[in-house]
Structure 1
Amino acid sequence: MLFDMDGTLVDSEKLWDVALRELAAEYGATLSDAGRKALIGNSMADAMRILHDDLGQPHRDPQVSAAWIDARILELFRTGLRWRPGALALLRAVRAAGIPTALVTSSGRPLVEVALDTLGRDSFDVVVCGDEVDAAKPHPEPYLTAARLLGVPIARCVAIEDSPPGVASALAAGAAVLAVPAEVPIAPTDGVHQLDSLTGADLELLAALLGAPPA
């Protein structure tokens, strides 16, 4: 099992929204709703470029903006991280069944370490962070890396995602994909099963996505 983090397991996109809009205000501008949606699921480097373009300030240094966001989001994660509906129950069921499990996120390691205080450090056999791969989502490398570290063929993995870049990454890697849109819609796509939430998702569904009977 390959789980995305932001917007999939935890309702953190609202916290990112706070940080991004605060940074825009620091720059004397306002992040548009379209710009905010375009940021979801991207690596930090890509997100900062999108942010600066949306603010009409492409001259801004992405590293400076990323450092500001990192510091603010760490504060917000420590106090305001909440599970997405059904996510904790599904993760517990997967772990109880002994299924190899990875967290595959575009967030950087320092932030993920804080999130793991909520998610549980024993919830995953492998954690792949956005700052630990050469190419971030929507490139397939994060999911291919997770499958390799788990020792499981990617074709035998189900990836759960909430954003278009994440879905594109998982599909390109060759995983079965369960999409649970959070902040932005995901267009109907061959090979992608969509649910409104993870409430009610179970091992039988995951097995069906792989075309196999449940264990």
Structure 2
Amino acid sequence: MTSHHPAAVLFDMDGTLVDSERLWDVALVELAQTYGGTLSTAARRAIVGTAMAESMRILHDDIGQPHRDPDVSAAWVNARILELFRGGLRWRPGALALLGAVRQARIPTALVTSSGRALVEIALDTLGRDSFDVVVCGDEVDAAKPHPEPYLTAARLLGVPIERCVAIEDSPTGVASAVAAGAAVLAVPAEVPLAPRDGVHQLESLLAVDLDLLAGLLRRTPA
């Protein structure tokens, strides 16, 4: 690994590596329907990238049923999304090639996701269990995204300084987490548009991303 490469590349999962947000759409819409409600577009966008408890709070408020038990709703969504994930996941454009290039260069990698471990284990059948040196799941940290803990945890487990890492994200919540942690951030929006943000490099897809571009992000990040 040459000195200008990142110390590690930290990948988000849903919407960044795999096109799974459409499956979450199905599960969340169906849950709202079982409660006799309709999930609004605004609420769905607000849910992207959030931890399950917050997602259920947003959904319950959106359909006018804040009294609902978030644990019951979360269990329903988890069961449904597990079924949908087992049906197969599609890679986001450019994601597989970039992950392969990073691994070939022997740059350490982490998967940093708001999804729970049970779901991630199914996703790893597509992503590859040897594709990541570290996996940080949403139900294995005390504070989920947008808190910086998930990315700080990944850097700590890898034994690398977070300021020498590049995080790749697709959602406002994930970007906020990575920025707060101190990583250089590449944002590739999927389901939700991202507003321009200082220090965050935004692209339409990962198709044009290579190791030189990732190294350039570190040079752009203030020390």
Aligning the two structures, in what range does the TM-score lie when normalised by the shorter sequence?
Answer: over 0.9
3-state SS of the aligned residue for 1:80? coil
2:99 aligned to which of 91, 104, 108: 91
2:19 aligned to which of 8, 11, 27: 11
1:195 aligned to which of 187, 190, 203: 203
Alignment match, 1:152: 160
1:24 aligned to which of 15, 32, 46: 32
Higher relative contact order (CA 8 A, sep 6+): 2
Q: 1:80 Cα deviation (Å)? A: 3.2
Alignment match, 2:10: 2
1:142 aligned to which of 114, 131, 150: 150
For structure 1, which runs of at least 5 residues remain unmatched after alignment?
Answer: none
4+ residue stretches of structure 1 with deviation over 4 A?
A: none
Alignment match, 1:132: 140
Which amino acid letter does the alignment assign opposite residue 124 of structure 1? F
Which amino acid letter does the alignment assign opposite residue 41 of structure 2? D
Q: Does 2:104 match 1:60?
A: no
What's the CA shift string for 1:48-83, capped at 9, x where partnerless?
Answer: 000000010000000000000000000100113110
How do 1:73-112 and structure 2 match up within 5 A? 73-112=81-120
1:180 aligned to which of 159, 183, 188: 188
Q: Percent identity?
A: 82
Alignment match, 2:172: 164
Which amino acid letter does the alignment assign opposite residue 50 of structure 1? I
For structure 2, which runs of at least 5 residues remain unmatched after alignment?
Answer: 1-8
Q: TM-score, normalised by structure 2?
A: 0.94
What's the CA shift string for 1:161-206, capped at 9, x where partnerless?
Answer: 0000000000000000000000111110011000000001000100
1:40 aligned to which of 27, 33, 48: 48
Which amino acid letter does the alignment assign opposite residue 177 of structure 2? S
Q: 1:118 Cα deviation (Å)? A: 0.2
3-state SS of the aligned residue for 2:167? strand
Q: 1:211 Cα deviation (Å)? A: 1.3
Q: TM-score, normalised by structure 1?
A: 0.98
- Say whether the 8 Å CA contact 1:5–1:105 is kept in structure 2: yes
- Say whether the 8 Å CA contact 1:15–1:80 is kept in structure 2: no
* RMSD of aligned residue pairs (Cα, Å): 0.8
Alignment match, 1:205: 213
